[in-house]
């Protein structure tokens, strides 16, 4: 006797409602007209790549930061409206952002 049979014994008048299929919609990032800035800095003697200038919401920028970190398999953080990635990955980050439809400007070094 499975769960459905047990429930029918307990509630004989109950008619089960068919389950609705919920379609998940992929989250669209806001693509802006102004270029984002991708720059290189050394912090405490270590190379870092900083991405600034996103005009969308902070949540979208955090999603973008997570995508970049997972695609490059590197560490990083989202702080003060900028993404800080460990290491010099300007070229790879610029190709990822251009593939998503963003305009990117390379600054420094």
| Model confidence at 28: pLDDT above 80 | no
Place of tokens 């870092």: 48
Cα–Cα distances (Å) from 44 to 47, 48, 86, 101, in that order, read: 8, 10, 12, 33
- Residue 54 CA to residue 51 CA, distance in Å, equals 8
pTM of the full predicted structure?
0.69
| Per-residue model confidence as pLDDT tens digits over 7-24 | 888 888 877 777 777 776
């Amino acid at each position: 006797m499975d769960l459905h049979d047990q429930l029918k014994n307990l509630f004989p008048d109950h008619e089960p409602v068919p389950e609705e299929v919920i379609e998940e919609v992929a989250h669209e990032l806001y693509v802006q007209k102004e270029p984002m800035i991708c720059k290189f800095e050394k912090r405490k003697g270590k190379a870092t790549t900083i991405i600034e200038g996103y005009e969308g919401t902070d949540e979208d920028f955090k999603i973008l930061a997570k995508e970049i970190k997972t695609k490059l398999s590197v560490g990083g953080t989202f702080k003060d409206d900028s993404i800080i990635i460990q290491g010099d990955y300007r070229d790879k980050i610029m190709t990822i952002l251009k593939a998503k439809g963003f305009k990117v400007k390379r600054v420094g070094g």
